[in-house]
Structure 1
Amino acid sequence: MKTLYLSATIVGTLVPWIFFGGFLAAHGISLPLFVAEVFATKPASGIAVDLLICCVVFWIWSWRDAKETNVRGWWLTVPAVWLVGLSLALPLYLWLREDAREGERGLPPT
């Protein structure tokens, strides 16, 4: 599973940044314009709000889960969401969680 999560982390970073890169190339770093475009239509707004809610729920769950399962590096999910999105943060956390589980079972890291 660690390999799957790591692969998803890489894909979840690169694919969104293909789109972000196009925006940055065309407009530079313009947070107001970026937010305006994210919320430009009602369907886009619905998707954006849905993802924001998912991010908050993910942070609450993963913070608690990290404490219970001794996941180191949980805090990396916070900048991961803001710099890329849930497509990076979720598989990253699951990879970190698998790493912690392997440590509990005494397995060598993969």
Structure 2
Amino acid sequence: MLKSIYLLLAILGLVLPYSQFIPFIFEHGLDIKLFFAQLFANKISGFFGMDVIISSLVFWTFVFAEGTRLKMQNLWIYIAGNLLFGVSFGLPLFLLMRQGQIEQQNQQISY
């Protein structure tokens, strides 16, 4: 059940932000200067921009600490997912795979 929720959240975390980003790309191309100008255009958008940046740093720390503890492989994939698609995709994807790792380890212990 928990894995299904994480999967749904990862899909939403990919689709919803990109529903805003793709039209920007079509209209302006990959204009990084304009992207950051609009991201920090006012105090409210700056608030959200800073929140996402700090959340990403916390997420990266969590991925490496928890992933190492659970002996998960290819932790770079979750960082790449975060950088390419956002923390709203990377975090639930990591939690989905983490849950699978925990369930797998629990099965091995019960044998």
Same fold (TM over 0.5): yes
8 Å CA contact retained: 1:62, 1:93? yes
Which whole-Å deviations, capped at 9, do the CAs of 1:16-35 have from their partners, x for residues lacking one? 01000110111111111111
Q: TM-score, normalised by structure 1?
A: 0.90
Q: Which residue of 2 aligns with 1:79?
A: 80
8 Å CA contact retained: 1:73, 1:96? no
Q: Verify: 1:5 aligned to 2:26, yes or no.
A: no
**Letter of the aligned partner of 2:9 in structure 1?**
A
Q: Which residue of 2 aligns with 1:95?
A: 96
Which whole-Å deviations, capped at 9, do the CAs of 1:40-83 have from their partners, x for residues lacking one? 11111111111111110111122111111122232112111211
User: Runs of 5+ in structure 2 lacking a partner?
Assistant: none
Tell me, what secondary structure is at the counterpart of 1:80? helix
8 Å CA contact retained: 1:72, 1:96? no
Q: Which residue of 2 aligns with 1:56?
A: 57
Partners of 2:97 and 2:103 in 1: how far apart? 10
Percent identity, please: 29
User: Runs of 5+ in structure 1 lacking a partner?
Assistant: none
Root-mean-square deviation (CA, aligned residues, Å) is 1.3
Count of residues in Structure 1 that have an aligned counterpart in Structure 2: 107
Q: Which residue of 2 aligns with 1:35?
A: 36
Partners of 1:83 and 1:62 in 2: how far apart? 16
Could you list the runs of 4 or more consecutive aligned residues of structure 1 that deviate by over 3 angstroms after TM superposition? none
